[in-house]
Chain A
């Protein structure tokens, strides 16, 4: 396990989610579950982040913001689409102002479906994301 896997810092962004998934994410970040045990920090700052956790189906208002945040995260980075809205647009897919999932705007590495997403699924998603993060880092090192 490299240092990338031991210190994954998160950036959480709500791209027009109903807040259901966000509450589950925040709950998992509370002292009760203590994600700092795994070196996880909720940074709130794209420049410091490794894993980009996005909820919601993305609408016209925030797709630029989403793109901007993604561009500001330095490589290696992993994007997690949390909730069925973020994964595919969910029930809002056909709305006139909804893009229909995070992957319509930025590349997504891990999909965590559910409405709202269950904490167990969320944690499994993060574990998957850490795996992808390691892969990407190894690739970056190899390219050097």
Chain B
């Protein structure tokens, strides 16, 4: 039964995540436009973009880009599938990190300065985001005694009661992970930004479409992680996810010119103060509650 559920979860994720991720991206663009007193693109614009990119001519700065970006897409999808299949949370986190490594390799493969700076900044982004993702795994283990997502979902008391600091730190890191705030980090989504799309600057057509698709998978995976804090209370969980995403858009529009230096400093500080302290307190005042 468990195996069937796991496979079902994974398959549903693989099919539904790109649709949901694309829709979310469309809603995101409309809300952003409204916040700037514009009308914004049609809801399905992200899908039009991908379809167009898919039909473009194949050009590569270096043909290995194709392999690396495919690996990025596949590994991101696999880590999401493992998460929604209820497998090991640490495995999900490491698989996601590996996926990003392939994206960075793809950017380094092109012999172009913008692409290289983009790859470097993407590395910085990983450096900032990775500690909190690992703390997330540790925190869940301390609260529930397991790394398995399926068992964490079944825990009685939702993890948010014990891990509010880790939750807030993860929320802070989401601005980076959703390619929002730092405008000069390679992955930033602003139309006009410092590195002309940095990490993706040498990708064209299908390669770029794959990167975008992988991003949709990742978005849904990250929102799933937020949801995990409210295991057992799906309604509250979904409300938090929606409100959280809206807040991310709001933050993005209020602080459109955050630099990567500021991001590194502030997010590490947040991780340290909220995340690490939360874990230490949990260690002192009570470990496994299951």
Residues of A within 8 A of B (CB): 2-4, 6-7, 31, 34, 36-39, 41-45, 47-48, 50, 72, 74-76, 137, 140-141
Report if A47-B52 is in contact (Cβ < 8 Å); known contacts: A34-B33, A39-B41. Answer: no
| Residue from A6, A39, A42, A47 in contact with B203 in the complex, judged by beta carbons closer than 8 Å | A47
Identify 10 residue pairs between A and B in the complex whose beta-carbon atoms are under 8 Å apart, listed by A's number.
Answer: A6-B42, A7-B49, A31-B38, A39-B42, A39-B45, A41-B191, A42-B191, A47-B204, A74-B59, A140-B55
CA distance A109 to B34 in the complex (A): 34
Instruction: Mark the stretch among B194-202, B223-231, B241-249 that contacts chain A.
Output: B194-202
| Residue from A2, A36, A39 in contact with B33 in the complex, judged by beta carbons closer than 8 Å | A36
Question: Do A50 and B52 have beta carbons less than 8 Å apart?
Answer: yes
- A31 contact set on B, CB distance < 8 A: 36-38
B192 at interface (Cβ–Cβ under 8 A)? Answer: yes
- A3 contact set on B, CB distance < 8 A: 47-49, 51-52, 55
- A75 contact set on B, CB distance < 8 A: 56-57
CB distance from A109 to the nearest CB of B (A): 16
CA distance A20 to B49 in the complex (A): 31
Number of interface residues of B (CB under 8 A): 32
CA distance A4 to B50 in the complex (A): 10
Question: Do A36 and B204 have beta carbons less than 8 Å apart?
Answer: no
Question: Do B204 and A4 have beta carbons less than 8 Å apart?
Answer: no
- B48 contact set on A, CB distance < 8 A: 3, 6-7, 39
CB distance from B233 to the nearest CB of A (A): 37
CB distance from B194 to the nearest CB of A (A): 10
Question: Do A74 and B56 have beta carbons less than 8 Å apart?
Answer: yes
CA distance A50 to B57 in the complex (A): 11
- B55 contact set on A, CB distance < 8 A: 3-4, 137, 140-141
